[in-house]
Structure 1
Amino acid sequence: MTAPTLTARTDPRFSLARQVADAVLFEGYVLYPYRASAAKNQLRWQFGVLVPPAWGAGRAEHTYQRTECLMEPRRDATLSLELRFLHAQRRTVQRLGSDGEFETAESLDADDRVYVPWDEGVEESVELSVPVAELTGDGVTVPFTRPAHQETESVRADGRIAGRLLRRRERLDGALRLSADEIDGPYAALRLTAVVQNTGDWPSDGGEAERDDALLRSLVSAHLLLGLSDGSFVSMADPPEWAKGAAAHCRNEHTWPVLAGEGDRADVMLSSPIILEDHPRIAPESLGTLYDATEIDEILALRTAALTDQEKREARGTDDRAGAVIDLADTMPPEVLERLHGAVRALREVTEPAGEPDTPWWDPAGDPSVDPAHDRVLVDGREVGAGSRVRLRPGSRRTDAQDLFLHGRTAMVEAVLHDVDGLVHLAVTVDGDPGADLRREQGRFLYFQPDEVTPLEDA
């Protein structure tokens, strides 16, 4: 078997997918207000962390990722792969003392920033290219190592050396295992399996080390980019009819593969520890990485610009990437900020429903086919509507803990409502509720679906 080719350049087909992959790589890297001292920056890197096996035993952390997806390669097709992850790097701050010696410090003032101890993330990747034909049978295994590393950076203040930063990376070892097998079906399709594993040792005297120490020997935010030179991947979220059975039997652990090629092409896949939809995209209005995809860019930019000067100095000293966010927020022109307020992605023709003129589409009065006060719905073979009494039995899909206190209570149905998705909801007031009259007056009810109630009496 020919050894897989380790590539020195990045596959150009990954350029669009890499924009989303970068967001995955740095999701949660440093959060607003971008200072190391902030509570939300004390527990970092929650996605795609692969710890050393000896440390991870008995813990909730993972030591590997497993991706399985379906592909339809043509003859002589080649699979390109890029494993990307962060290698944690511990930064220690030292101040220059009056005796000319360096001593460890909790902070160090520089001209425009305040340095503090911090774990930085160094981008790493393993790139390879292998003929698909060589993946069948035993497949291929590619071990990789990132050696330990140390470096020193001088810090100046007012033109003089005020201290230094010590950076240390631990050795990191891993393995990438690739294999493919044929699936039953009408087409020549293969199931691709890609396993990324941390194979590093853990020092015997490591003892009960904290997670922060284990992260130094971990693959952080690990994810895969997969590309076919000739052929296509099958959507795992919406497979064609012939592939649904095989897709359902694919085993994806701690990661999920989605189509990520240009346009609607299916020759690139991104396997991410964060669940995405097929063909994910970065909003074109977003001008920079804010490292917090759960926030709205407009709000985050405004709040960042409103930080005090001292807070901005601390953010710049926390990490260069945090400093870039500060600079972005400070220099964003008003017209660019305005673009973040909202965008119309698509337009469709809406036909005005028959009903009272000038009535909003969501108002029941706008649709003469429904009447909340008189509509009835069958529950256990009996008609239920306004005035019916029922017993509440919230279903398992409920996520509000308050519903547990309502289980078994009796209630009065006030209206039968239909939503835009075609679902039926019963608006109820609970028997014995001293605020029931106020709820009726304001139209603020509790809502349950028909399978969550039991009729107590005929209408």
Structure 2
Amino acid sequence: MDRARQIAQAVLYECHPYHRLLDDRYLRGLHPEPYAGGRAGLSWMMQTQCLVEAAPAHTVDVHVRFLQLVSREVARARGGELEPAAELTVDGARYVSGLEAREREAAVSGLTLADLAAAAYTMRVDVPGDQEAVWLIDARGRAGAVLRCWETLHGQAVVRAEPLRDRLFRLTVKVANTTDWRGEDRAEVLRHTFVSAQSVVRTHGGRFVSLLNPPAELRPLAEGCRNIGTWPVLVGEVGERHTMLSAPIILRDHPRLSYAT
């Protein structure tokens, strides 16, 4: 795993504190628009804008990543039937009902800046709802099962580029949760949320401009970038400018992990 991917992975989980899942103050993610639209402080979309020094033929790759909450239920086998249980121990391993998270990702590669300047590109970000069962086996046979289920999610990422001057573009990535969920329950909405959503953008042939410390001649254009609900920074080795991570957490350029070498 390269350093940029390491940082993106760490940030994905940094924005997802398990012990705060049901507290609105700590919900970092994109909620369904019908739910978030009328609630202050909650978002259904995020927008990244950054500058890239590149020729029109140079390309970008866009990755949208988030966590989806999955319901996990433990069941005990009794007489050929499954009986719900808060927890179950099988062969020394303890299984507990609750919530867990699964990583989701949608990506597109090879988008030329010339094409993005001519017309925006829309990438679907969809997850079909499903369920699964894993049997728990001991010496006597089936002792129980772990049942998991997750909801259908719908979203999109719209990517466009605006030429500003020779070999300079403003790149915009707007990610939205378009899931048509109209409930009111706070705990239930989490199952329809893009938790800890982030965008990772990589350029091939070009170089991104730091928005934190841009060159003096580009500072007015950098300050004109409008980022909503997200904070884009350069990631990778110090000095590299080919990858930008945009996430709902404040970082400096080229952040480091304490265990990274």
Fold match, TM over 0.5? yes
Tell me which moved more, 101-110 or 62-71: 101-110
Hey, what does 1:25 align to over in structure 2?
12
Hey, what does 1:82 align to over in structure 2?
63
Tell me which moved more, 276-285 or 128-137: 276-285
Structure 1 residues 62, 117: CA separation in 2 closer, same or farther (over 3 Å shift)? same
**CA contact 2:129–2:150 (8 Å) conserved in 1:** yes
2: CA distance between counterparts of 1:270 and 1:263? 14
1: CA distance between counterparts of 2:154 and 2:112? 25
Secondary structure of residue in 2 paired with 1:146: coil
How is 1:194-273 mapped onto 2 (pairs within 5 angstroms)? 194-202=173-181, 206=183, 208-210=184-186, 212-273=187-248
**CA contact 1:151–1:168 (8 Å) conserved in 2:** yes
Hey, what does 2:98 align to over in structure 1?
118
How is 1:169-180 mapped onto 2 (pairs within 5 angstroms)? 169-180=150-161
Hey, what does 1:327 align to over in structure 2?
none
**CA contact 1:260–1:279 (8 Å) conserved in 2:** yes
How is 1:31-430 mapped onto 2 (pairs within 5 angstroms)? 43=23, 46=26, 48-59=28-39, 60-97=41-78, 99-129=79-109, 130-183=111-164, 188-202=167-181, 206=183, 208-210=184-186, 212-284=187-259
Aligned length: 259
**CA contact 1:47–1:273 (8 Å) conserved in 2:** no
TM-score, length-scaled by structure 2: 0.90
Which runs of structure 1 show a deviation greater than 6 angstroms over 4 or more consecutive aligned residues? none
> What is the Cα deviation at residue 258 of structure 1?
0.6
Secondary structure of residue in 2 paired with 1:194: strand
Secondary structure of residue in 2 paired with 1:243: helix
Structure 1 alignment gaps of length 5 or more: 1-13, 32-38, 287-459
1: CA distance between counterparts of 2:55 and 2:247? 25
Secondary structure of residue in 2 paired with 1:19: helix
**CA contact 1:28–1:45 (8 Å) conserved in 2:** no
> What is the Cα deviation at residue 87 of structure 1?
1.8
1: CA distance between counterparts of 2:96 and 2:170? 48
2: CA distance between counterparts of 1:257 and 1:150? 35
Structure 1 residues 191, 53: CA separation in 2 closer, same or farther (over 3 Å shift)? same
Secondary structure of residue in 1 paired with 2:29: coil
1: CA distance between counterparts of 2:143 and 2:23? 30
Secondary structure of residue in 1 paired with 2:63: strand
Secondary structure of residue in 1 paired with 2:125: strand
1: CA distance between counterparts of 2:252 and 2:104? 25
**CA contact 1:256–1:272 (8 Å) conserved in 2:** yes
> What is the Cα deviation at residue 173 of structure 1?
0.4
1: CA distance between counterparts of 2:14 and 2:125? 24
2: CA distance between counterparts of 1:71 and 1:28? 27
Look at both structures and tell me which one has the larger radius of gyration over its CA atoms.
1
Between the aligned residues of both structures, percent identity stands at 35
> What is the Cα deviation at residue 47 of structure 1?
6.0
Structure 1 residues 41, 69: CA separation in 2 closer, same or farther (over 3 Å shift)? closer
**CA contact 2:16–2:196 (8 Å) conserved in 1:** no
The one-letter code sitting in structure 2 at the alignment partner of 1:249 is G
Hey, what does 1:306 align to over in structure 2?
none
- Give the number of the structure whose residues are more often helix, by fraction: 1
> What is the Cα deviation at residue 284 of structure 1?
3.5
Tell me which moved more, 259-268 or 236-245: 259-268
Secondary structure of residue in 2 paired with 1:172: coil
Secondary structure of residue in 2 paired with 1:26: helix
> What is the Cα deviation at residue 233 of structure 1?
0.5
**CA contact 1:29–1:45 (8 Å) conserved in 2:** no
**CA contact 1:235–1:258 (8 Å) conserved in 2:** yes
> What is the Cα deviation at residue 281 of structure 1?
1.8
Structure 1 residues 92, 141: CA separation in 2 closer, same or farther (over 3 Å shift)? same
Q: Deviations over 1:335-381 (max 9, x none)?
A: xxxxxxxxxxxxxxxxxxxxxxxxxxxxxxxxxxxxxxxxxxxxxxx
Structure 1 residues 96, 88: CA separation in 2 closer, same or farther (over 3 Å shift)? same
2: CA distance between counterparts of 1:252 and 1:68? 6
Q: Deviations over 1:272-294 (max 9, x none)?
A: 111111011223468xxxxxxxx
